[in-house]
Amino acid sequence: MSLQDFTEHVEQYAVEIINGRQRTWYDQLFRIFLFVLSHAYRFAVQFRIMLYTQSIMKRQNLGSFVVSVGNLTAGGTGKTPVVELLAKTLSGKGRKVAILSRGYRSKSRSFKDKIKHFFSGAEYRFPPKIVSNGKEVLLDSQQAGDEPFMLARNLLERDGIPGTAVVVDKDRVNGGSYAIRHFNVDTLLLDDGFQYMPLRPKINIVLVDSTNPFHNHEMLPIGLLREPICNLVRADYIFLTKSDGRPSLQRLKDFLGKHNSRAPIIECNHVPCNLRGVFDDKNLGLGMLRGKKVATICGIAVPESFENYIRQLGASIVYKERYVDHHRYRTSEIEAFCQKGIEAGAELLLTTEKDAVRIPKVDSQGRDFMFLRVEIRIISGQEHFDDCIKSICMM
């Protein structure tokens, strides 16, 4: 078993325990262990936040307008399309934007590169990875990470609107300073930034998944919370994602209001736009899915949301494969998926946009291999979104 297989096996086992699927006595014992770790983690998180809020540890101001986009839970809130919407809207208003990302699960620099940098006489810190300068994509998904690569590809200069630079660095203060110096940006979008305390944002945007807001309300690793729900008080705007505007969401809105009465709530949904080729430039309308038999493959936090989109568009899923979030696909896995999907009668092979950047090119045996492109649509609270954009553009 490879290290990747072992890591994913442990991750999948932990997910099953978190979701309460105990089968044996040692599963229950492991759950108790995770529960104890969860409370220790909660204390550590709150203590760290206190150090920053009490100015015992300093927060940096870089001189540009910093907008943090993040969440309280681990994965699955649909953050990347919201960051893309903000970047496109701000660029269209004349702001010079850069996105700062930590590049989750991106390829680390080699030991050889580290030694070379050490003896070069350069600064101690590595310069950040430049995924895009706004005009062209400079790194692939393995080097940049899935989300930074997607954002870089979707936010290139076009139709007279300036592109958005995408910078990857675990030290977002270093990445932001680099973006300001080299790209002359005036707006920094801090991707997945709610827990990143060293850089002080002017606006904190927090995303909440309306279909599964806070899981079991427990902290990692027994739940999915990165920090306690009470910390919603730091949010300036709350985006309620995957919303269908149903009246039953009022209870969730009331709950959010109890923790933060000043933050406007913006409801939005992820809307499928079209189908695009994983290995080519094909661009197909969604109507062609109606009545089609399809095979799906994905490695995302909430695979059900993707599969439900496909069914709602009129297709029937005859074969599906699921992997853990951010799974790096092997050629043999994709070849096997194509073969099994076709044997099950699939007329079309489908994946998500996030997965598409991690899929190696294979022979799809005469079937189109497409990914579903989705974008954010605001269904309630447009005036609050406009106010947010206006407050940034006035600076």
CA atoms 117, 120, 123, 129: torsion sign = negative
**pLDDT score of 13:** 74
**pLDDT score of 17:** 75
- Give the CA distances from residue 64 to residues 95, 297, 371, in Å, rounded to whole numbers and listed in that order: 11, 40, 36
CB-count exposure of residue 120 (10 Å: 0-12, 13-18, 19+): exposed
Q: What confidence tier does 204 reach under pLDDT thresholds 50, 70, 90? A: very high
Query: Whose CA is closest to 17, among 2, 41, 38, 3?
Result: 38
Residue ranges of domains in the chain, CATH in brackets: 3-53 (no CATH), 65-263 (3.40.50), 272-374 (3.40.50)
**pLDDT score of 61:** 93
Assign 118 to helix, strand or coil: helix
Q: What is the per-residue pLDDT across 129-168, written as a single tens digit (0 to 9) for each? A: 999 999 999 999 999 999 999 999 999 988 778 899 999 9
The answer to whether the beta carbons of residues 198 and 60 sit under 8 Å apart is yes
> What are the φ and ψ backbone dihedral angles of 97, each rounded to 5 degrees?
-110, 140
Q: Name the pTM for this structure.
A: 0.90
Average pLDDT of the residues of the chain: 91
Q: What is the per-residue pLDDT across 315-336, written as a single tens digit (0 to 9) for each? A: 999 999 999 888 999 999 999 9
Residue entry with tokens 């197909």: 284
- Residue 301 pLDDT > 50: yes
Q: Residue 296 gets which letter from DSSP?
A: E
Angle at 261 between CA 257 and CA 263, to 5 degrees: 100
Q: Return d(Cα 64, Cα 62) in angstroms, integer.
A: 6
CB-count exposure of residue 322 (10 Å: 0-12, 13-18, 19+): middle
